[in-house]
A and B are shown apart, each in its own frame.
Chain A
Amino acid sequence: EIVLTQSPGTLSLSPGERATLSCRASQSLSSGYLAWYQQKPGQAPRLLMYDTSSRATGIPDRFSGSGSGTDFTLTISRLEPEDFAVYYCQQFAGSPPTFGHGTKVEIK
């Protein structure tokens, strides 16, 4: 099973700042099949990014994804109030699909 380690656990930032979230895999995701989800309290996860760097429908361009191999990053260029949430990475390169434990982006 591929283990995904997300860091930091919590990111305290102000609106307008840049957020950089990391997701490290225990083995190479050679296919690049890595997705990112946003989850707000009381809501289901929402797909943000797929295939490492492709934005899902309706996701604003302040969200971007990058990476390869074992190291992946989600960047939010300028935080909007609605972006404060928990973010999870998920890999589909190996079976079973696995999630990271999440990074909480909170208002500083």
Chain B
Amino acid sequence: QVHLVQSGSELKKPGASVKLSCKASGYSFTDYSVNWVRQAPGQGPEWMGWINTNTGNPTYAQGFTGRFVLSLDTSVSTAYLQISSLKAEDTAIYYCARWDQVLYAFDIWGQGTMVTVSS
């Protein structure tokens, strides 16, 4: 079965950093790109960017440059999202999602990681 399994909830203080993981199983990791989506409390999803799992090249949405870094470890079929200089407004659920280029949609989603930034 195809799965994306994300790391557990994080509680961080403002100014700290966090690195979230998204481990793929049940398919060839490098056949599909991994996208990241943020969902703030009570809000709709917001696309953050994607990473090419063949080249490791990331692309970031406007508003997610500078403090946000996407990376990979293809040896363990895992994508990462690192956020530095955390702010209270980074409090959200972060999802990874697989992009299917035939369906032109995010067909598989991780369960999400809740990041809470509070002093």
Footprint of B on A, CB under 8 Å? 33, 35, 37, 43-47, 50-51, 54, 56, 88, 90, 92, 96-102
Contact = CB atoms under 8 A, between A and B. Distances in A.
B107 A47 contact: yes
Contacts of B44: 88, 99-102
Contact of A47 (B43, B105, B111): B105
Contact of B47 (A37, A44, A46, A98): A98
B103 A51 contact: yes
Contact of A56 (B45, B47, B103, B112): B103
A96 B104 contact: no
Given A96-B61, A96-B62, A47 B47 contact: no
B106 interface: yes
B29 interface: no
Contact of B107 (A56, A99, A101, A102): A56
Given A88-B44, A99-B45, A35 B106 contact: yes
Contacts of A47: 103, 105-107, 109
16 contacts: A35-B103, A35-B104, A44-B111, A44-B112, A46-B109, A47-B103, A47-B105, A47-B106, A50-B103, A50-B105, A50-B107, A90-B105, A96-B61, A97-B47, A99-B47, A101-B44
Interface in B78-116: 95, 103-107, 109-112
Which secondary structure dominates where chain A touches chain B? loop
Given A44-B109, A44-B111, A96 B103 contact: no
Interface residues of B, number: 17
A102 B107 CA distance: 18
B46 interface: yes
Nearest to A98: B47
Contact of B109 (A35, A45, A50, A101): A45
Contacts of A101: 43-44
Contacts of A44: 95, 109-112
